Amino acid sequence: MPERRPTVIHVDPERVDRDRLAPAVDALHGGDLVAFPTETVYGLGADALNPQAVGRIFEAKERPSGHPLIVHAAGEGEARAMAADWPSAASRLASAFWPGPLTLIVEKSDRIPDVVTGGLATVGLRVPDHPVALALLELAERPIAAPSANIHTRVSPTRAEHVRRGLGGRVAVIVDGGATDLGIESTVVRVDDDGPTILRPGMIPRSEIAEVAGGATGSPEDSADAGAPRASPGMADKHYAPVGRTRLIDRTEMREQIASAASDEAIGVLTVGEPPEAVEAGPVARVEVLSDDPGAYGEQLYAALHRLEEAGCDEIWIEVPPADERWEAIRDRLGRATG
Ligand code: TXA
Ligand code: MG
């Protein structure tokens, strides 16, 4: 794979200067990779209708070819054009949440090359709620296939700097639009005759999806027949994980374990709100104190994990987040990071 320096373009999301995006548009048209901000995380984009370009995404990410990509579109009309079928639940969810952090899994149109969906008959579609991403989609005048812009299984990027460090010369252009707002990847919902199924929780609460789609939202495990294909390939593996040993730990255990930790270990700690006193007194290399509000916590989480990784921690202890619905996506990602 050719390693060269990526071209970095700074675009202010508050005042998008479309002319500055020209090199990114040219790169997409030329079949090259462009990293760009969305409201969730940075995406690693390629022309979704160009199979060779899409192949480069898998190569750059070291991602197994069976893992389907999300196709980003400029609006609902453009997204629908990529679907063979548009159930009424898809229509309702799209009106309620697009542009926004929702990916709809529907039957794919023949226009989508098989490499995009890893051979599946369905495709994930999303209209991102980010002025830079939308400007890029409009200027490119084609759908953009984009997974999160990180090496497979690692922590997703919420800043351009994370992309540069993780993928560097494997991407032609990085569009830097600052830190992302939500910080946690989109809610992935399959809509078919059985109703909505949440394949990956995101920051839209499950109850809101159910209310809009009309019907309870199943989880893939509810319908997991023995031998049936996995609903969302790639979701079963370890994911979203920093380098180093990472584990979930509650406050009491954190206090006890710190007291008995060897002083030559570099322990990194991530807490929900103020850390227990023992942490400040113990042999801790780095403490990340995140908000006890799930929205603010989500926004900060991946940047904190990137910092703990950068600090070279041997072990990362993450405080178990609260049990309520608003924390579901965060619990899901931390479970995969430590699983
Ligand atoms: O917020 C996001 O969703 C970000 C930004 C860049 O849009 N993208 C992202 O993409 O997180 P990725 O590739 O890291 O995760 C895509 C998820 C995977 O869990 C994949 O299995 C699922 O969506 N997915 C995509 N297409 C699918 C399909 N046809 N059927 C089932 N699951 C699918
Ligand atoms: Mg990802």
Statement: residue 37 has pLDDT above 50: yes
How many CB atoms lie under 10 A from the CB of residue 234? Answer: 18
* Residues 113-129 pLDDT 10s: 999 999 999 999 999 99
Atom of ligand 1 nearest to the CA of 118: 29
Ligand of minimum distance to the alpha carbon of 40: 1
Kindly state the average pLDDT of the residues 48-67.
96
Please report which ligand is nearest the Cα atom of 83. Answer: 1
| Percent of the chain whose pLDDT exceeds 90 | 78
Ligand 1 atom at minimum distance from 235 CA: 19
Nearest ligand to the CA atom of 158: 1
Do 203 and 39 touch, CB atoms closer than 8 A?
no
- Could you tell me the distance, in angstroms and rounded to a whole number, from the CA of residue 266 to the centre of ligand 1? 34
- CA terminus-to-terminus distance, the chain: 31
pLDDT tens figures, 233-272: 666 567 778 877 899 999 999 888 888 877 777 899 999 9
Contact status, residue 213 vs residue 191, Cβ threshold 8 Å: yes
Name the pLDDT band for 317 (thresholds 50, 70, 90).
very high
77's enclosing H/E stretch is helix 76-80
- Beta strand pairing status for 315-319 and 267-272? parallel
Please tell me the distance from the alpha carbon of residue 312 to that of residue 285, in angstroms, as a whole number: 9
Cα–Cα nearest to 168, from 157, 153, 179? 157
CA of 37 to the centre of ligand 1 (A): 15
Mean pLDDT along residues 122-150: 98
Ligand with the closest atom to the CA of 43: 1
CA distance 74 to 242: 32
Most confident range, picked from 167-181, 213-227, 279-293: 167-181
| Distance set, CA 141 to CA 26, 54, 124, 125, 230 (Å) | 12, 16, 19, 16, 33
Indicate which residue's Cα is closest to atom 29 of ligand 1: 123
What is the CA 289 to chain-centroid distance, rounded?
22
Residue of 98, 125, 132, 188 with the most ligand 1 atoms within 8 Å of its CB, for mutation: 188
Identify whether the C-beta of residue 336 lies closer than 8 Å to the C-beta of residue 240: yes
Q: Is the pLDDT of residue 229 over 50?
A: no
| CA 155 to centroid of ligand 2, rounded, Å | 8
Token pair in block for residue 29? 């048209």
Arithmetic mean of pLDDT over the chain: 92
Cα angle 10-295-127, degrees, rounded to a multiple of 5: 55
CA of 202, closest atom in ligand 1 = 1
Mean pLDDT, residues 29-44 taken together: 98
Where do the DSSP E strands lie in 108-237?
122-126, 144-145, 173-176, 187-192, 195-200
From edge to edge, which strands make up the β-sheet containing 267-272?
245-249, 315-319, 267-272, 284-290
What pLDDT sits at residue 228? 41
User: Residue 56 corresponds to which tokens in the numbers above?
Assistant: 């480069």
Judge whether residue 61 has pLDDT over 80: yes
SS3 of residue 78 by DSSP:
helix
- pLDDT, residue 332, reads 95
Location of structure tokens 């700097």: 161
Confidence of residue 224 (pLDDT cuts 50, 70, 90): very low
List the residue whose alpha carbon is closest to atom 22 of ligand 1: 232
CA of 191 to the centre of ligand 1 (A): 15
Closest Cα to atom 10 of ligand 1: 147
**Helix or strand run (H / E) with residue 281:** helix 277-281
Check residue 319 and give its pLDDT: 97
Which residue owns the Cα nearest ligand 1 atom 6? Answer: 43
- Largest Cα separation within the chain, whole Å, is 61
- With a Cβ cut-off of 6 Å, ligand 1 is lined by 38, 40-41, 43, 67-70, 101, 103, 105, 117, 120, 122-124, 126, 128, 146-148, 185-186, 188, 199-200, 232-235
Surrounding residues of ion ligand 2, Cβ less than 5 A: 148
Per-residue pLDDT of 85-94, as tens digits, reads 999 999 999 9
Give 261 Cα–ligand 2 centroid separation in angstroms. Answer: 33
pLDDT at residue 3 in the model: 62
Going by alpha carbons, the residue nearest to atom 31 of ligand 1 is 232
**What value, to the nearest 5°, has the Cα angle with vertex 314 and ends 310 and 315?**
105
Pocket test for ligand 1, best of 38, 190, 232 (most atoms within 8 A of CB): 232
68-112: pLDDT as tens digits: 999 999 999 999 999 999 999 999 999 999 999 999 999 999 999
